Chain A
Amino acid sequence: MERDVFEADHRAFREVVRDFVTREMAPHMERWEKAGIADREIFAAAAKVGLLGFNVPEEFGGGGVDDFRFNAVVAEELAASDVHGPGFTLHNDVVAPYLLKMANDEQKARWLPPFASGEEIWAIAMTEPGTGSDLKGITTTAVRDGDDWIINGAKTFISNGINSDRVIVVAKTDPAGGSKAFTLFVVERGMPGFTRGRNLDKMGLHAQDTAELNFDNVRVPAANLLGEEGRGFYQLMTNLPEERMSIAVSAVAASRSILDQTIEYAKTRTAFGQPIGSFQNSRFLLAELDTEVDIAQVFVDRCLRALSTKELTHVEAAKAKWWTTELQQRVVDRCVQLHGGYGYMNEYPVAKAFVNARIQTIYGGTTEIMKEIVGRALGV
């Protein structure tokens, strides 16, 4: 089905992105997967051709376009090629909105130029060993000491955790708790007491660094407080639509890509003298998946348009996130099946797509939490 959400600029941008992904990233994936991390230089190289920082204002060295459809193009092209390596979407879709919406002028001048040029890599650290879904359970603390804050605690599962130069850390600033107890801080590489734990080995996404971070009496100047003291929780909430749409967009693009590859396989692989796709069971299965992926695409595109005009609600984003990522599970599961024994070989893209997809219903808010959000909005 023809997609009508993109315009000529987006289509031209897609060419650039696709070219970069195929030429500069895909060939390195195997090495990055072995290393458990991508080369940090790829951020600057990607920024040079406009894959990163396009949504940062021009005065700070960015592209100056505030239109989430460009973010979607990058997310889609990476997902379609299963190039999950460096956390580009984390930069564009998650970190950038925080900095653009919450940093003050001094901070913008300090942080945005190297962010936009890809020289500095960012991460965001909310999850802790004891708390993931329930962010109010965060126990990392920040205590004021003169003009500074002293941060103590541990974070885990942090994407870009090893490569990052600056990390947005959610910490508790009011021991009494409640939703006004949290504040965001930017912790920098080299600050005494800030150390990295293990680069976690995972079921999939091997080229992405996902790490533990430790904070032992880390002294952070007040100038690195992002947004307002005690507003951290609300700030997290306002930025969730972007993160969730980023995942939803990737889910549909990855589903479409692996489904198309599987359809091709079903046409060319023969059994009993006919292509396997011509057996009715396989043909109907492919028909069902193709239909569902089209339907998902239409919904996501509609959300995308709403997000590009800042009209998307967090409930709509939650719907998109859970439904598309659950669809992706079904798609990769069936596609492995349709590949027969070969789908089970690690060398086939479908085997990788299967394990890489598995995290999608968990991070960025689990399916269960998404349904909580949608359900509560119904008043039930």
Chain B
Amino acid sequence: MSEAEIEGELRGAIARLLRDRCGIETVAALADGPDQWDESLWRALTEVGVPGLPVGEEHGGGGAGFALAAAAQEELGRRLAPVPTVSLVAVQAALMAAGSDVAERWLPRLTSGEVVAAVATGRTADGWSAADDVRATRGRDGWSLHGHVPIVADAPAAGLLLVACVTDDGDPGLFLTEIDASAGVHALEALDPTRPLGGVTLDGPAERVTGPSGHDTVLAAAENAALVMLAADMVGVGAEATGLAVDHAKTRHQFGRAIGSFQAISHRAADMFVAVESARALVAAAAGALDEDPGSAETRIAVRLAAAQAVDAAVAATQGCVQIHGGMGFTWEHPAHRYLRRAKGAEALIAFPDRLREQAVTAVLHSRKEDSHA
């Protein structure tokens, strides 16, 4: 099979599974109910190997790389699937980059879907950093973490947390610590209920994934993976919102004709479509770059440009979807707001497009400078 055929099969299989298990009514019921995420959907996805897609076969994964993991995530985004793949893949990427004993031990459990993992870091204009209010302490029995991280995506679904923080000695470090949604995680009410958020209080044992020497590389691997997965999710969200809007524009009549025949509507839909298609191409390129050359400056740039475009496209497409639906787009029963929430949530949580572009530009300028020195 060609790569395109493999991708097509994978997308088809996930789309079929989601059609049965993750219809918009299911998502709506979950989002409006007390559950924080769709555990039974997660188990179904686990059975078909979704959690292990990017991980190598030596760790029990599918060895499909980020390219296919991103394709799968687009399908999940399309259906607003309330499952923690973005966070999980970020942690997997970190562990693959670290290659330490601790990493080797945990990877198979994350690959099989047995354990869900999420990421707790601080955030600066340059991207992820050590969490502000967490300290790692080395005691006689090993490491422990103490402190609080106010907002952690997917924490209510997670059993394991990858924490970036500073040690008592002032060194940066990355740690794994087990958490329990029923204790220490305080579920937060967020704009987008399909991606649960939690405030996490840490006060217990941890294992060090990497010390100061590997820290930057490993954290960058996690962040790049998270950005690509989130961007793929946004392509799905934007594509579906565009599809809904176009369907409505074809069938809703005002002034004796389909509203899609008015240029205000058809041009807006066309803009939405073009934005999402460009994002899809950029995301595919970025995911491919992650597979081929994860540590390079080019990859860093490609990932950021893809994420910026994808988030912008998703916000524009979901806003347009509301507008094209008129008053109906403002009702709770119509799914338009759920897509808008997911897009806006992604933007607020991980990927401010202007910051991502600034990071990309900085990387471009930096690599130019190095070229001219060489």
Interface positions of A (Cβ within 8 A of B)? 127, 131-134, 136-137, 156-157, 200-204, 271-272, 279, 281, 329, 333, 336-337, 339-347, 351, 354-355, 358-359, 361-363, 366-368, 371
CB of A346 within 8 A of CB of B189, answer yes
- Asked if B33 is at the interface of the complex by the 8 Å CB criterion, the answer is no
A134→B252 CA distance, assembly (Å) = 11
Q: How many of chain B's residues touch chain A, expressed as a range?
A: 35 or more
**Residues of the B chain whose Cβ atoms lie less than 8 Å from the Cβ of A133:** 254-255, 326
- Chain B residue at minimum C-beta to C-beta distance from A133: B254
Q: Is the CB of B326 within 8 A of A366?
A: yes
Q: List 16 A-B contacts (CB under 8 A).
A: A132-B326, A133-B255, A156-B327, A203-B330, A203-B332, A203-B337, A333-B315, A333-B344, A340-B348, A341-B150, A346-B190, A355-B191, A362-B326, A363-B327, A363-B330, A368-B265
User: How far apart sit A358 and B331, CA to CA, in the bound complex (Å)?
Assistant: 11
The A-contacting residues of B in range 345-374, CB under 8 angstroms, are 345, 347-349, 352, 354-355, 358
Fill in one digit per residue for B55-71: 1 if any A CB lies within 8 Å of its CB, else 0.
00000000000000000
Given contacts A346-B190, A366-B326, contact A134 B332 (CB under 8 A): no
CA distance in complex: A124, B125 (Å):
49
CA distance A344 to B123 in the complex (A): 15
A202 touches B331 (CB 8 A): yes
Write the chain B residue with the least CB distance to A272: B124
B151 within 8 A of A: yes
B329 beta carbon closer than 8 Å to chain A? yes
B binding-site residues for A, Cβ under 8 Å: 123-125, 150-151, 188-192, 197, 254-256, 262, 264-265, 315, 319, 322-323, 326-327, 329-333, 336-337, 340, 344-345, 347-349, 352, 354-355, 358
Nearest neighbor of B153 in chain A, beta-carbon distance:
A341
Which of A272, A281, A361 contacts B354, CB < 8 Å?
A281
What is the bound-complex CA distance between A362 and B329, given in angstroms? 9
Contacts A344-B192, A354-B191 given; indicate if A271 touches B331 (C-beta within 8 A): no
- Cα of A201 to Cα of B344 in the assembled complex, Å: 20
Residues of A within 8 A of B262 (CB): 368
The answer to whether B191 and A132 have CB atoms under 8 Å apart is no
Smallest Cβ-Cβ distance to A129: which chain B residue: B328
Residues of B within 8 A of A204 (CB): 330
Report, nearest first, the 8 A-B pairs whose CB atoms are least far apart: A201-B332, A344-B348, A203-B337, A134-B254, A368-B264, A341-B151, A346-B189, A157-B327
A202–B329 contact, CB under 8 A? no
Q: Are A341 and B265 in contact (CB under 8 A)?
A: no
When the two chains form their complex, are residues B191 and A344 in contact, meaning their CB atoms are under 8 A apart?
A: yes
Please indicate the chain A residues that have their CB under 8 angstroms from the CB of B254 in the complex: 131-134, 137
Cross-chain contact A362 with B327 (CB below 8 angstroms): yes
* Chain A residue at smallest Cβ distance from B263: A368
- How far is it, in angstroms, between the C-alpha of A363 and the C-alpha of B349 when the chains are bound? 30
Task: Specify the chain B residue showing the minimal Cβ separation from A338.
Answer: B352
Interface contacts (Cβ under 8 Å), in number, total: 104
- Give the residues in chain A near B332, CB-CB below 8 Å: 200-203
B323 lies within 8 A of A202 (CB): no
Task: State whether B330 touches A358 (Cβ < 8 A).
Answer: yes
B331 touches which one: A132, A136, A201 (CB < 8 A)? Answer: A201
Complexed CA–CA distance, A344 and B191 (Å): 5
* In contact, A371 and B331 (Cβ under 8 angstroms): no
Complex: how many Å from CA A362 to CA B327? 6
* Contact yes or no, B348 A336, CB < 8 A: yes
Interface centre among A203, A336, A339 (most CB of B within 10 A): A203
Q: What residue in chain B is nearest A337 (Cβ atoms)?
A: B352
How far, in Å, is A104 (CB) from chain B's closest CB? Answer: 32
B189 touches A358 (CB 8 A): no
Report how far A24 CA is from B349 CA in the complex, Å.
35
In the complex, A261 Cα to B365 Cα: how many Å? 36
- The contact of A203 among B256, B264, B331, B347, by CB within 8 Å, is B331
- B123, chain A: closest CB distance, angstroms: 8
**In whole Å, how far is A263's beta carbon from the nearest beta carbon of chain B?**
18
Q: Max chain A CB contacts within 10 Å: which of B188, B189, B326, B327?
A: B327
- Residue of A at shortest CB range from B345? A344
Query: Is A344 a contact partner of B344 (Cβ separation < 8 A)?
Result: yes
Selected from B315, B323, B344, the residue in CB contact (under 8 A) with A367 is B323
A337 to B191, CA, bound (A): 13
Closest to B338 in A: A203
B323 with A343: CB separation less than 8 A:
no
On whether the beta carbons of B327 and A346 are closer than 8 Å, the reply is no
Closest residue on chain A to residue B329 by CB atoms: A362
CA distance A134 to B191 in the complex (A): 33
Partner of A366, one of B123, B255, B323, B349: B323
> Smallest CB–CB gap between A321 and chain B, Å?
14
Cα-based distance from A279 to B326 in the complex (angstroms): 38
Query: Closest CB of chain A to B273's CB: distance in Å?
Result: 18
Smallest Cβ distance from B327 to chain A, in angstroms? 5
Q: Beyond the given A281-B358, A362-B326, please list 18 additional residue pairs across the A-B interface where CB-CB is below 8 A.
A: A132-B327, A156-B327, A202-B331, A203-B330, A203-B331, A279-B125, A336-B344, A339-B348, A341-B150, A341-B151, A342-B151, A345-B190, A347-B189, A358-B340, A363-B330, A366-B323, A366-B326, A367-B323
